[in-house]
Amino acid sequence: MNDTSGADAQAGSGRDETLARAVRLREGGSREEARALLLALSERHPDDPEVAYQTAWVHDTLGLEAEALPHYVRAIQHPGLSDEDRRGALLGLGSTYRVLGKYPEAVATLRDAVAEYPDDGALRTFLAMALYNTGQTHDAMAILLNLIAATSPDPDIAGYRPAIEHYAKDLDATC
């Protein structure tokens, strides 16, 4: 009987160390070096959502959105991401669709993400941008107005919060 648990543990350890090194490199500005490590790691672990997310992220930081796209898709297709990483992957995917001019896909991705994480202001902001790109300006403005009303520390805005929230429901409302 062969015991492969030691080999599996070593393989996992190598993955973890390489992934951590790649993240440090990306965060330190050595994005091309991080990209090379992550592409190799992604080949060895094609169904690993964390590797896919980090690979997508490094491509995004390099302005390689088209190359980031399939990694984002893989990252959210497989279970295992932390909540924080899942939010980041959904935002990255929606934003990448938007940057690539795939506006309907951006809206669909970001709507689903906002439904999953309704309190995430960044997701709502990116959804508003994608809605704008599809000509849904009223919906985009409503999202942004509600976000500003709910989150702004500006006392002048806070004083008008009820009015802002009212008009967010119907920007065309008059007396």
Distance CA 152, CA 146 (A): 10
Q: Which of the four pLDDT bands, split at 50, 70 and 90, describes residue 172? A: confident
132-153 average pLDDT score: 96
What gap in Å lies between CA 10 and CA 131, rounded to an integer? 47
Listed by start position, the domains of the chain span 13-81, 104-174
CATH superfamily ID and name for 104-174: Tetratricopeptide repeat domain (1.25.40.10)
Q: Tell me, yes or no, if the two domains 13-81 and 104-174 fold the same way.
A: yes
pLDDT band at residue 1 under the 50/70/90 scheme:
very low
User: What's the pTM value of the predicted model, to 2 decimals?
Assistant: 0.86
- Looking at the domain that runs over 13-81, which CATH code has it been given? 1.25.40.10
Per-residue pLDDT at 108 exceeds 70: yes
In angstroms, the Cα distances linking 27 to 50, 58, 61, 173 are: 16, 9, 10, 47
Residue 80 in tokens: 């295992």
By C-alpha distance, which of 45, 118, 124, 122 is closest to 78?
45
pLDDT at 175: 63
User: Which regions of 22-154 does DSSP assign to beta strands (E)?
Assistant: none
